[in-house]
Amino acid sequence: MWNHTTQMRTAFAEKKIARSQLSAQDTADLLVYLQNLLHMRNTVAQFSLSTTESGKALFESKGCADCHRGKLALENRLANTTLTSVAAAMWNHAPQMLQMPPALTGGEMPSIVS
């Protein structure tokens, strides 16, 4: 979803559709739906947190640290949250970003989150 933010923003504007806010439950429901699509049923969904320090370097190189420091730092805000809560918060946050969100590969997201 994160990597599609720019395209979704454009599509919503073209169709004059308001962007919906997502809750953690909405995100979990979307995951269940996607996992039950016929062509996805035999695919194993996997997300594991990284144990390396590469996330900090990625967070900085992608420009996230430019805004997320001081009162906006994420370190204390993410404690005791679920991955679906983080995904919903990122989706809800994208419209307020000062710059377009950077694209992240599948391996970069776990590193940044951890």
pLDDT for the residue 9: 84
Q: Whole-model pTM?
A: 0.74
pLDDT digits (tens, 9 = 90+) for 61-75: 988 888 888 888 887
Residue 28 burial by CB count (10 A; 0-12/13-18/19+): exposed, middle or buried?
A: middle
CA proximity to 90, closest of 24, 30, 15 = 24
Q: Any idea where the domains of the chain sit in the sequence?
A: 2-113
User: Residues 41-52: pLDDT tens digits?
Assistant: 887 766 666 666
Q: What is the pLDDT confidence band of residue 6, given thresholds at 50, 70 and 90?
A: confident
What pLDDT sits at residue 51?
65
Give the model confidence (pLDDT) of 73-113 as tens digits.
887 777 788 888 988 988 888 888 877 778 888 778 888 87
Give the separation between CA 93 and CA 6, rounded to whole angstroms. Answer: 13
The stretch 14-36 carries a mean pLDDT of 91
Give alpha helix (H) positions in the chain. Answer: 5-15, 24-35, 54-61, 64-67, 83-93, 108-113
Which tokens in the block code for residue 104? 């992240």
